[in-house]
Each structure stands twice: as C-alpha cells, then as structure tokens.
Amino acid sequence: MEFDLKCTLLFNKSLNDAREPLTDFVQEANKSNPEKFHIQSWLIEDNKLSLHLLSRDVIRAHVYLLQLKKKLDTLLGKKNHLGLRGIKLDDYHILFDLDTIPLEEIKIPFAQIDIKKKTVSLRIQDKDEEFLTQNYIDRMINLVREKAHFQRYKGKKEDWKLLWESSQKKPLWFKDPTEALSHLGWIEQGPTKGKWFFRPPAAAIMCAMAQIAIEKVLQPLNFQEVIPSMHVPLTTWLKTGHLEGMPGEIYYISEPVTRDVKKWETFIDLLKIKKEIPIKEFSQMISTPKAGICYAQCPNIYWSFSGKTIAESSLPLLLYDRSVPSARYESGGRHGIERVDEFHRIEIVYIGTKNQLLDIKEKLIEKYRMVFNDIMDLEWRMAQVTPFYLQQAGQIIEEEPNAGTIDFEAWLPYRGDRDTPWLELQNVSIVGEKYIRAFNIKTQKSILWSGCSGIGLERWTTAFLAQKGIDPKKWPPSFQKFLSDLPSSPEFL
C-alpha cells in the first residue's frame, strides 16, 4: 500500500517563531523509519502548517499523522505556547491492491476511485478531522475490498451441499395448498400485500404445527419461552448487520410526531371532509423511523443480554419465542402462504460454550428429524448453505468450520418433479462469536458462542399439505394425534 497525504494543521497563532523546532521535528521524524515514512515537505503560512506525508505498507499516513499531531502539540505547546486547533485533510491519495481484478466498477461515498487491474487508487479531498479520528479511512478501504469480494461471490452459485435426504414418499396429491385453501375460503389474501387471514380450519393447522414444535422439539430439550418486543430499533440491526445486509426487506415503523390532538386537527378535518387519507398532511405528522417490525426474532433476544455477564451455571441458555410475527418486504418473491410479507415463526436461540452449542445442534437436528419423519412423514432433506449473515452483505469473515447454517427443505409436488426447487422449512445456525461480540455478552471464564433456528409455521404447513393433502382422514396417524378434526369454516353465499 502507498499513502500520499497532504494536510493543514491550524494553530491558535502564527508559527513564524516555530521554524527551528519544526525543522528539528521533521528531521527527527524522517529518521524514524526512512524506508516506510517520509515528510516530503512542510510549509508555514501564518498560523497554518501544511504537511506532505508519504508512507507505505503497515505505516498508514492517516494514522501516523495523528501520532505526529500529538507530539507536535506537546512540543510547540511547551516551547512556543502554540495550541493546535485542528487538522484539515486537503488531499489524500492511497494506492492498494485487491486480491483479484473486480468485475464491475466500484463506487463508495467520500472518495474518487480509479481501478487499474488489481490496483485501486483512492482519492479523498477536503475533509475535516473526524475523517482521521473516527477511522473512516480504514473502513473505506475495507469497503472497497468488500465490494470487490462480493462481486466475485455474487457470481458464484450459492453454496449448497446436501447433507442428508429422506426416502422418497409418494405424494397424496399434487395441488398448491394456497390455491386449495383459498378456494375453500379457509384463507383470505390481504388486507395488504403478502398478508393472509387464516380462518378456523387453516388456523388450526398452523396451531398444530406450533404445538408439534413446542411439544416434540422445544420442551424435551428444555427450551424456555420468552416474549420479546415486536419493534426492533435500527441501532440493534446496526449491530447484527441486518441494516447493511437487507435494508430493502425491512418494514419500518414511524412514530407520530405528536400525540396532541390539536396538532392533528387539520389532518382530522381533511379526513372528515374528503373521506380519504390526506397523504401530504399525514406525512408531516409521522416521524422518520427509528425502528422496524421484527425481521427475525433473534436480534431482540440478543439485545436483552447486551452488556451482561451470564453465570456459567446458567449455560447453555435455551430460549424460544413464538409470539412475535416477522415482517419482510418480499416484493417480487411473494408466493402463496409460503413466501409472505408477514409470517409466523418460532425462533429459538441458544447461547453457550462451543461444545454446548455443537451438542444442542445435534440434538435439535435429531428432534427435527423425528418430527419430519415420524410425525409428518415428509419427503425432505438437509443441506449446508451460506449462512444468512453472509448472504447479502458479502462481508469478508473468517469461516469457522463449526459455524454455519443447515437448511431443511421439503419437496413441493405441485411445483413438478423432484428437480424443481424445494421449500426451505427452517434452518439451524451456529453463528460463533458474531452476535456475542456485537452485543458484548460475557460469561465468567468461557468463550461464548450463539446460534438460532427459525421454524416457519407457514412453511411447515405448506410442505405438509403439499405432500399430504387437506383431508385429515388421509393424514398420517401420528399427525392426526395432534389434529384429526378440523373446525368448521363459515359458509359464504
């Protein structure tokens, strides 16, 4: 890497009397590591000192400058009673190499970027001191690397490695459950995009799925229920990475600007007169979102432990939430009840030592296997996939071989033969120390790991109905133990 930095240091008064100590200072600095650092030139103009620094490799001029600044401040303060008021970054030129030649143009804020083969020339001009003190520059360099990395990664096929598959099962029908349930009036699409109303028979099936998950998976493994908030602050997603990973999939929440009825008067009057929503007035009455609707339940669960030290005797923490729905802006991807904008998941979160988590992972998989094989009698499979936290952000993270995500998928006969895409029912993830670090969660001695597993109730329902049909009499007897008679649905004339 090569660094070429021009900056101006501002003092409280003229530097004219400080030429001598400055000459010595520059000479001294230039002796410290002549191979890697050099003050190319310096110039005094009244109370301004302009510096031109050159450095390479591990000595990053923007970091070194802060050290020089400190020394100068002390030196000139003592000798000449000068006070340093600030630094302006005039022109900074950084050259560095990427691992591979990028596939497309790369742009980032605050810098001009020019890339020749693998070499990036990054140019930053006219910036304040915060650029140096807040570590923006290193993050900008990393961002360029991340974007180049992601361009390659995007081009690759998603990592998908089959781990296990069930025997083939003869489907009992070939219909799309959403169409069949809609036709019967058991579900109703809406009231807004990607949402559904489940009437009693459909609700009973969803509830049976939840009951199976709780009674056959979570309770036997001693998971305990928690009730988190449905609102997730943006600051929490900043920590988990969701905000940089999927900002376009979140439903954001606006607070009203005020609760004062008087201030809402015009809005109410317009509403009463026009009998339609006065959008312009309305948009002035709601504030910029500071939170969003739950995307996955785990961030708020992690948040609840932030900064805490958990007693070793409480480990592993085994928790689940079933009360908070998840919302995602799926846009073009929406389909039926299986890919919706509001869905119902049981999310389970586990925090413990690495060995505890690897043990839980195995036990969970065993229980899930029992549910899909012995209760639902599904044709399904497990695959190792790219962890969700790596999918969108393209972050460069050291892979820990024991961390990662396993997807559970089921065949949907209505889509066609077994080569058509299968439906992801749920996953089991071990995320290593990522969230533990993000929320500063500790225990007495051990290093903590965490992980989560999201059971999609709409997905379990769709997979089961798609393979077994909607006549309870034809369902496997093991499933009928949980639900054998469906409640009636209102008849519509």
Q: Which of 159, 330, 359, 400 is catalytic?
A: 330
Longest distance between any two alpha carbons in the chain, whole Å: 98
The item of Zn ion, ligand ATP, none sharing an interface with residue 409, based on CB under 5 to 8 Å by kind, is none
Query: What is the total count of residues that contact ligand ATP (CB under 6 A)?
Result: 17
Map the footprint of ligand ATP across residues 380-399, applying CB under 6 A: 388
Q: Which of 298, 322, 341, 379 is catalytic?
A: 298
Burial 340-363 (b: 16+ CB within 10 A, else e): bbbbbbbbbbbbbbbebbeebbee
Q: Is 456 in the site for ligand ATP (CB under 6 A)?
A: yes
Q: Is 423 in the site for Zn ion (CB under 5 A)?
A: no
Q: Is 328 in the site for ligand ATP (CB under 6 A)?
A: yes
Map the footprint of ligand ATP across residues 289-318, applying CB under 6 A: 296
The secondary structure element, H or E, covering residue 87 is strand 84-97
The secondary structure element, H or E, covering residue 67 is helix 61-80
Confirm whether 199 is a catalytic residue. Answer: no
Bridge partners, 429 (sequence order): 405, 452
Confirm whether 347 is a catalytic residue. Answer: yes
CB of 58 to ligand ATP, least distance (A): 39
- The answer to whether 355 and 337 have CB atoms below 8 angstroms apart is no
Can you tell me which of 459, 461, 467, 469 binds ligand ATP, judged by CB under 6 A? 459
Query: For residue 276, what are the CA distances in angstroms to 253, 260, 327, 450?
Result: 22, 22, 27, 49
The item of Zn ion, ligand ATP, none sharing an interface with residue 459, based on CB under 5 to 8 Å by kind, is ligand ATP
Q: Cis peptide before 102, with omega less than 30 degrees from 0? A: no
Confirm whether 459 is a catalytic residue. Answer: yes
- The answer to whether 470 and 357 have CB atoms below 8 angstroms apart is no
Which residues lie below 8 Å from residue 252, measured CB to CB, with a gap of 6+? 289, 291, 292, 293
Here's the x/- map for Zn ion, 273-312, by CB under 5 A: it reads as -----------------------x-x--------------
Confirm whether 60 is a catalytic residue. Answer: no
Here's the x/- map for ligand ATP, 335-354, by CB under 6 A: it reads as ---xxx--x-x---------
Q: What single string gives the DSSP state of each residue in 176-223?
A: -HHHHHHHHTSEEE-SSTT-EEE-HHHHHHHHHHHHHIIIIIITTTT-
Confirm whether 407 is a catalytic residue. Answer: yes
Confirm whether 369 is a catalytic residue. Answer: no
Map the footprint of ligand ATP across residues 405-424, applying CB under 6 A: 424
Strands 442-443 and 309-310 come out as: parallel
Catalytic residue set: 298, 328, 330, 339, 347, 407, 424, 427, 452, 459
Residue ranges binding ligand ATP (CB under 6 A): 296, 328, 330, 338-340, 343, 345, 388, 424-427, 454, 456, 458-459
